[in-house]
A and B are shown apart, each in its own frame.
Chain A
Amino acid sequence: MKFAILVNEDPFGHQAAQSALSFAQAVLASGHELVRVFFYMGGVYNANRLASPPMEDRNIVREWAELAAKDGVDLVICIAAGVARGVREANLAPGFRISGIGQLVEAAVIADRLITFGA
């Protein structure tokens, strides 16, 4: 089955991004397809290459990047939300790309399920 995920929150202010990441990893571990993860609003901070969380915390930005590298998951941040929050090409983590909300809509149309994680 094809899944798409929407992430609305940054990795530091709310558990949503961690939940989304764990869910994404479980989708792949179950042998399903993850067609796209779309990061909206504060979710764009998941793509900030300059983030360095304390050692004992999970490095969410890096784990997303690994999903893209190993499993080819399409990670897309909303361009308007990114520009507003200072997440752009210059500090975009590997594996992510920048595009519009149309990518969220398209992902929801292609996928059999859209799962939202937010505050």
Chain B
Amino acid sequence: MGPLHTVNKSPFAGPALDSCLGHLTEGAALLLIEDGVYAAVADSAAAAKLAMAAGRYAIYALGPDLAARGLGKASLLDGIMVIDYLGFVDLAVRHSTVQAWL
């Protein structure tokens, strides 16, 4: 398995998500946490970029961070999997490294 990448910035706040998406490799996965979860909202400008990646890479969003931000019941981009912290730990186990796009 390749790396797990975490993005914790809103896609509207800077290049973290774009830059991360540009550095995904075979077997990599992306986990949106903290303000990064704003990218998961269906039909947002960021979702279009994510949709391209979603076909090739597994993309996850952290449920507690979605819920805290009022997105717990929001319609998310197709293919994004919502996980909790136990799921985050499990992803870290299953990937070779964890790279935070701070």
In the complex, is A directly touching B at CB under 8 Å? yes
Residue numbers of A with Cβ under 8 A of B are 1, 3, 8, 15-16, 19, 22-23, 25-27, 29-30, 32, 113-119
B33 on interface, CB distance cutoff 8 Å: yes
Assuming the contacts A22-B64, A115-B98, A116-B100, asked whether A16 and B88 have C-beta atoms less than 8 A apart, the reply is: no
Residues of B in contact with A, size category: 10 to 19
Measured between beta carbons, the chain B residues less than 8 angstroms from A25 are 85
Measured between beta carbons, the chain B residues less than 8 angstroms from A119 are 102
The secondary-structure label for the interface of chain A is mixed
User: What are 19 A-B contacts with C-beta separation under 8 Å?
Assistant: A3-B89, A3-B92, A15-B35, A19-B34, A19-B65, A22-B64, A22-B85, A23-B88, A25-B85, A29-B86, A30-B89, A30-B90, A32-B89, A113-B93, A113-B98, A114-B98, A116-B100, A116-B102, A118-B100
